[in-house]
Structure 1
């Protein structure tokens, strides 16, 4: 998809023009400005531009896979932040739904000293599953993709399926605990805040349930350096605010 490199892209709001996104109640047929494929959506920018989830996430997903396969870092927050600082990763978007399980999978396998082949296999499965979580899932479906990402992570490392007895419960529980904590912080949506919260909750859960400590979550202070890119940032109400 070389066409993604042919136009200037903005890190926030509309990738093409930078205008605010408009979330409507009704769905209409729209054409993606990058791939020209047709979609039925209720989200465009103020100027009517539409970018499909695949085009929005493409660069970010490639970056996640490349970084996570090669890194030996063990702190999932640091892994996620390194990736999010890239110019190819946007302030908001469905790529975060893959980043959560990817950072956790990478951290988990690096912590326990598992083979790179198993880590890569897990990352590819997480990529495939996260593609089913649409952009705007939090507000339209009441289920933030960052929280779902923690369930994807748990399912993969425990080989859980719909028919599994032993780990089916904790696979759903980790999602639930992450989602509750995200909901307590309130809206509007912030993909960074929700990602930090989901990873923090998942880390504590893995420590207590699987006896694997991904990082020193009790003492490690998560600080967000992305607020300047987020016009809906809740400022000092956010637990990760730089100036709090």
Structure 2
């Protein structure tokens, strides 16, 4: 049995320490240097935490015709292989944005290729990046999306600026909400703010980002929920406000 919040092995809360030490993944039994374990000492590496989830996200998005990235993200988050928190969200968010974007502005073949690129890039962002590196994965994910659709590289000019400005804009907006982290809240807000930035900079509107807000069905499961300070806490359903 796997648990979908807390420790995947036993369900106990995760404990973060200041110091890193060598530990063995309870699933693949490989050794890693980490500063997170559960209260019973279990550790699960990012690869095992996300196994199957990334393929599920990619396969769903390839066959998806939905044009609203929020709706796509909600459908994916409801899948039992997507945990409450975890690095699988680092792919889920750019995949939802890319799917909505390509379903409106590009071809199926372009969507498939962009989803593959996003999967490769997102899979190297470790869990806990938000707190330990000061850059929430949700913000970086918007940058992955921006980089891919604009074909940015370290040597491009306008597209390089576009991708970095989107990342900075989304991270600033996420920072204004504050922590603790919530992969659902930050993922949804990243989609909304990335869509706002895309509309402003490229005149491409993915959905009614000004008014649509998802209803959070995870607040009773999240022990660190910030409740009324979350922009989605009191929303009853996905609707026009």
Distance 1:132 1:209 in 2: 28
Q: Pick one of 163, 170, 188 that aligns with 2:162.
A: 170
Alignment of 1:47-86 (within 5 A): 47-86=40-79
Provide, for residues 162-182 of structure 1, a one-character-per-residue CA deviation record: whole Å limited to 9, x for no partner: 000121111001001110111
Match of residue 231 from structure 2: 239
Provide, for residues 188-236 of structure 1, a one-character-per-residue CA deviation record: whole Å limited to 9, x for no partner: 1111111011111000011111111111112212221111221100111
Q: Pick one of 179, 193, 196 that aligns with 2:171.
A: 179
Residues matched between the structures, number: 236
1:20 aligns with 2:13: yes
Offset at residue 59 of structure 1 (A): 2.3
Shift of the 28–102 alpha-carbon distance from structure 1 to 2, 3 Å rule, reads: same
Write out the 4+ residue segments of structure 1 that deviate beyond 6 Å after TM superposition.
none
| Cα RMSD (Å) | 1.0
Q: Secondary structure at the match of 1:229?
A: coil
TM-score normalised according to structure 1 size: 0.94
Provide, for residues 12-64 of structure 1, a one-character-per-residue CA deviation record: whole Å limited to 9, x for no partner: 01001000000001111111111111101000100000000011011221111
Match of residue 130 from structure 2: 138
Structure 1 gap segments, 5+ residues each: 1-7
Q: Secondary structure at the match of 2:36?
A: strand
Q: Is the 8 A contact 1:59 1:89 kept in 2?
A: no
Provide, for residues 79-122 of structure 1, a one-character-per-residue CA deviation record: whole Å limited to 9, x for no partner: 0110000111100001111111111100100011x221111111
Q: Is the 8 A contact 2:214 2:235 kept in 1?
A: no
Distance 1:51 1:194 in 2: 23
Distance 1:197 1:220 in 2: 11
